[in-house]
């Protein structure tokens, strides 16, 4: 167990790594949280007996999303680089990662969850990508959700900014299971499906199953990151939307296209 923005420990005879977001109630996915998650994953990536990872969160909510302040122009390039690197690290991780979600799972929190192999949610979960309401978009989710849901359903979440509840999320394929205790359900899934397998063969099987998927996401992430920084952030409305959120007021859109056509 460690102090800081996450807690980490091993269980199931040290074959399952537990990662827990530990800054309730919001569990904001900021640079410090991302660094801690990345470091914990890196610490255990070569544990030859490791079979799976469970990612969950303290408090009533999985995560309210990424840090809004860190998406302002002077920090957004660094922030996008960090969260996209974490997404790729999770996709390339050599064992399955199961995200156990409760309460709100929004924005960057949902992007992190979608980088897991499976998502298990509590019945009270609300999942969504509200970024468009601030006149920005979700780069990682723009790449991950079409793969997970298909194009039309992905666009429904990305362009509306609306959340879906746990049962609808399961119906559309966003989550894999709904359980009163998502972390316990994640461990049960691992016990029933992963424990007892050869750890070395499992790693090779994960690579085989994900190779093409990983390359698609890597290419698309680079494209949308450029689109975000070099086109979106050269217009005025994203800064207005982010500042309006921080100032708790209604945004005033200019609908300008300066930079959008460059």
Tell the CATH topology of 6-193.
Answer: 2-enoyl-CoA Hydratase; Chain A, domain 1 (3.90.226)
CB 88 within 8 A of CB 218: yes
Query: What digits encode the pLDDT tens for the residues 125-137?
Result: 999 999 999 999 9
pLDDT of 195: 96
Bridge partners of residue 6, in order along the sequence: 21
Q: What is the pTM of this model?
A: 0.94
Q: What is the pLDDT of residue 4?
A: 85
The model's pLDDT over 51-75, given as tens digits with 9 standing for 90+, comes to 999 999 999 999 999 999 988 998 9
Per-residue model confidence (pLDDT) at position 2: 58
Measured distance CA(163)–CA(151) in Å, rounded: 17
- Judge whether 157 and 137 are in contact, CB under 8 Å: no
Tell me the domain boundaries of the chain. Answer: 6-193
């Amino acid at each position: 167990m460690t102090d800081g923005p996450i807690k980490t420990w091993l269980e199931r005879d040290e074959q399952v790594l537990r990662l827990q977001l530990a800054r309730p109630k919001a569990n904001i996915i900021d640079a410090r949280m991302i660094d801690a998650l990345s470091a914990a994953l890196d610490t255990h990536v070569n544990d030859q007996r490791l079979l799976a990872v469970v990612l969950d969160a303290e408090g009533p909510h999985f995560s309210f999303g990424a840090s809004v302040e860190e998406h302002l122009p002077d920090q957004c390039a660094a922030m996008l680089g960090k969260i996209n690197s974490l997404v790729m690290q999770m996709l390339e991780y050599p064992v399955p990662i199961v995200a156990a979600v409760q309460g709100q799972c929004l924005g960057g929190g949902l992007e992190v969850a979608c980088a897991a192999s499976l998502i298990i949610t509590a019945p009270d979960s609300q999942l969504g990508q509200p970024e468009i309401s601030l006149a920005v978009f979700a780069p990682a989710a723009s790449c991950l959700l079409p793969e997970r849901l298909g194009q039309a359903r992905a666009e429904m979440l990305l362009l509306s900014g609306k959340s879906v509840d746990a049962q609808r999320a399961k119906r559309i394929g966003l989550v894999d299971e709904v359980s009163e205790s998502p972390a316990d359900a994640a461990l049960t899934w691992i016990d029933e499906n992963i424990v007892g397998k050869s750890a070395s063969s499992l790693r090779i099987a994960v690579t085989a199953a994900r190779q093409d998927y990983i390359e698609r996401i890597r290419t698309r992430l680079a494209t949308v990151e450029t689109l975000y920084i070099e086109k979106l952030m050269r217009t005025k409305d994203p800064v207005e939307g982010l500042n309006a959120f921080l100032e708790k007021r209604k945004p005033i859109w200019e609908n300008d296209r300066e930079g959008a056509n460059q």
